[in-house]
Amino acid sequence: MDEAAWITRYIAPLVTSAGADGLRDDVALLTAIGPTIATMDTLVEGVHFLSSDPVATVGQKLIRVNVSDIHAKGAEPLEALLSIAWPHDRSEHDFAALMSGIERDLQGFTVSLIGGDLVRHDGPLTLTLTLTGRCIGKRPVRRSGGGAGDALFLDGEIGWGGAGLSAAQSGNNPQLAARYQVPQISDRASAQIVAEQASASMDVSDGLLLDVSRLAEASGCGAQLDLERVPLAVETAEIAQILDQCTAGDDYRILLSAPSGLKIPGFTEIGKLTESPGLQLRFRAQPVNTPSTLGFEH
Amino acid sequence: MDEAAWITRYIAPLVTSAGADGLRDDVALLTAIGPTIATMDTLVEGVHFLSSDPVATVGQKLIRVNVSDIHAKGAEPLEALLSIAWPHDRSEHDFAALMSGIERDLQGFTVSLIGGDLVRHDGPLTLTLTLTGRCIGKRPVRRSGGGAGDALFLDGEIGWGGAGLSAAQSGNNPQLAARYQVPQISDRASAQIVAEQASASMDVSDGLLLDVSRLAEASGCGAQLDLERVPLAVETAEIAQILDQCTAGDDYRILLSAPSGLKIPGFTEIGKLTESPGLQLRFRAQPVNTPSTLGFEH
């Protein structure tokens, strides 16, 4: 079957918004209600997911990594454009499975698919999503709005992405592997908190230490992180195991700064922004050496 | 050098709009002035361009195939998100050349780069652009607005894409090859004409015969095409050579329907939409058999 037939059979049924014109055109009309943001993330086989990952989970991950960016800016996801470079040697059955994963999460996060592109090639499966979002407040919450003295808050737990990747590679624990394949991202309620309370915000995708450094740097500050306060997938008092989890990445939880003294339901205070630049790590008030690798960029 | 350094050195300098926040964030704030459309096209090495094509021209082609979609809807291009999957075995020098081609056409078509993604991998060079456009009129001109009796008009000449591809494959005629590598797309003035005069419109990207059929079908009509009226890259009265050029694709010129009897500067009337479905070809008023392959989908 050719690309046009695949689009008709598997992709067009997912399209409901009027602006998409049933994918019968080359462009989609964007919905414009208030300030609108856009993000674009690409997943490549062998880089962002394993060839052995169930392909439906790859579709879910594609939606989630993009929704995570939108939520972290204090916005709700709106409309998506999807590009798929599909390897010739993967089956139509696999394609149907990919689209079922995408459909599941489009519905779960209330995203409208409005357009995109499909090409078959002889390379790794490569997926790109452009996702728009409607700001809950008047503008997106940037990485750069924090100030020295602001507290750092984290939504959820860190380390599931790394633990899940190890499980997926070993094949021994499918339930744990699912935490890597289908990340549990921060939800719409957390996006509302970002919009209402955060001075700066981002999602933790490349490792907590790296992303704390980035938020601090973008805000013209340094940061102090109290490692014993970070909620971890695997609870431990071993510094090496804590640092492993805080540098592994693929967690897609929201990190925000807000005035100190606040209590934010569902979030944990893990440190603060500082006047002096750089990242200072502490464990039970004792200084800890900062590892040379703070995370993974991909 | 890693991805972050490449972004800083080669991509960030191209970013000027406030909404992009200097690429320091995960999302871009879209400019919203009037009805906004979006398109997304992917180019894959070996499918949409040759490995031997100068990589700067690949960057230009990426911008142009997307701008062509926007112009054909009666809109002007606005903001772009760029995803690059860059092969490990291509050099940084090549990356700089790619970005120089992209920069040249971003400027030439007044497009703001506002975000995207960069990943290195072991596959073919794969580029995806999401491009927004501002409608010149109140809404985009769709493929579906034509009616029986409307005349079909074509902007520019057909066949340069195919002739250029042959030249690029043989290596004998670099000037002709450039017509494939850097397509001469319909311009902003043609977009204005679409917005003001067209009942239906699209760009001819996959072959004139195929795209005439698509516009007619989307409009609930058939089409009659007078082959002797089609302006061709290689003028000829040989039916086989005419049909070759009309099915070769990669021309990126605007095809529109409008009330018959109009004169549209720069456009050539080449046929009409009909009540009866299907594509009827004629040459000097004599019927011509329709070839089994009308174009190339990619």
* Res B298 pLDDT > 70: no
Closest approach of B243 to chain A, Cα-based (Å): 23
Q: What is the average pLDDT score of chain A?
A: 92
Band of residue B57 on the pLDDT scale cut at 50, 70, 90: very high
Q: Tally A–B CB contacts below 8 A.
A: 183
Chain A, 219-278: which have a CB under 8 Å from a chain B CB? none
Q: What is the average pLDDT score of chain B?
A: 92
Share of chain B above pLDDT 70, in %: 98
Give whole-number Cα distances, B123 to A169, B18, B88, B233, B235, in Å.
Answer: 21, 34, 8, 35, 40
Provide mean pLDDT across the span B272-294.
95
Provide mean pLDDT across the span A162-170.
94
Q: Does B78 touch chain A (CB under 8 A)?
A: no
pTM of the entire predicted model: 0.92
**Chain B residues closer than 8 Å to A86 by CB:** none
For residue B187, give both structure tokens: 């311009």
| CATH architecture of residue range(s) B3-135 | 2-Layer Sandwich (3.30)
Kindly report, residue by residue over A1-21, the tens digit of the pLDDT.
576 777 778 887 787 777 777
Band of residue A298 on the pLDDT scale cut at 50, 70, 90: low
**Chain B residues closer than 8 Å to A41 by CB:** 83, 117
For residue B267, give both structure tokens: 């456009």
The domain locations on chain A are 3-22+32-135, 143-287
**Are B69 and A27 in contact (CB < 8 Å)?**
yes
State the CB neighbour count (10 A cutoff) for residue A83: 25
Q: Does A22 touch chain B (CB under 8 A)?
A: no
Question: Residue B27: which of A28, A39, A144 has the nearest Cβ?
Answer: A39
pLDDT at B22: 74
Radius of gyration for chain A, computed over Cα atoms and rounded to the nearest angstrom: 20
**Are B44 and A133 in contact (CB < 8 Å)?**
no
Band of residue A30 on the pLDDT scale cut at 50, 70, 90: confident
Closest approach of A55 to chain B, Cα-based (Å): 19
pLDDT at B45: 97
pLDDT at B12: 79
**Are B119 and A46 in contact (CB < 8 Å)?**
no
**Are B81 and A40 in contact (CB < 8 Å)?**
yes
Closest approach of A140 to chain B, Cα-based (Å): 7
* Res A220 pLDDT > 80: yes
Provide mean pLDDT across the span A80-95.
93
Fold agreement between A3-22+32-135 and A143-287:
no
pLDDT at B9: 81
Kindly report, residue by residue over B149-200, the tens digit of the pLDDT.
999 999 999 999 999 999 999 999 999 999 999 999 999 999 999 999 999 9
**Chain B residues closer than 8 Å to A217 by CB:** none
Higher per-residue pLDDT: A160 or A19: A160
pLDDT at B214: 93
DSSP annotation string for B123-157:
S--EEEEEEEEEESSSSPPPGGG--TTPEEEEES-
Q: Rounded to an integer, what distance in angstroms lies between the CA atom of residue B210 and that of residue B162?
A: 15
* Reported CATH class of domain A3-22+32-135: alpha beta
Which ipTM score applies to this complex?
A: 0.90
For residue A56, give both structure tokens: 């439906």
Q: Which of A67-76, A254-263, B27-36, B195-204 has the lowest mean pLDDT?
A: B27-36
Residues in Cβ contact with A292 at an 8 Å cutoff, skipping those fewer than 6 apart: none
Superfamily for B143-288?
PurM-like C-terminal domain (3.90.650.10)
**Chain A residues closer than 8 Å to B123 by CB:** 44, 123-124, 126
Q: Rounded to an integer, what distance in angstroms lies between the CA atom of residue A205 and that of residue A59?
A: 17
Q: Does B28 touch chain A (CB under 8 A)?
A: yes
Higher per-residue pLDDT: B2 or B235: B235
Fold (topology level) of A143-287:
Phosphoribosyl-aminoimidazole Synthetase; Chain A, domain 2 (3.90.650)
Q: Rounded to an integer, what distance in angstroms lies between the CA atom of residue A183 and that of residue A254?
A: 13
Contact B125, B58 (CB under 8 A): yes
**Chain A residues closer than 8 Å to B256 by CB:** none
Question: Residue A297: which of B4, B32, B132 has the nearest Cβ?
Answer: B4
Chain A, 143-172: which have a CB under 8 Å from a chain B CB? 143-144
**Are B38 and A130 in contact (CB < 8 Å)?**
yes
Kindly report, residue by residue over B248-276, the tens digit of the pLDDT.
989 999 999 999 989 999 999 999 999 99
Q: Rounded to an integer, what distance in angstroms lies between the CA atom of residue B201 and that of residue A26?
A: 10
Q: Which of A4-18, A256-270, B93-107 has the lowest mean pLDDT?
A: A4-18
pLDDT at A29: 81
Closest approach of A74 to chain B, Cα-based (Å): 11
Closest approach of A194 to chain B, Cα-based (Å): 15
pLDDT at A126: 98
Higher per-residue pLDDT: A88 or B17: A88
Write out the E strands in chain B: 28-29, 36-44, 75-87, 112-121, 126-135, 151-155, 200-204, 222-226, 253-258, 267-274, 279-283, 286-288
Q: Does A218 touch chain B (CB under 8 A)?
A: yes
Give whole-number Cα distances, B206 to B184, B202, B203, in Å.
Answer: 15, 11, 9
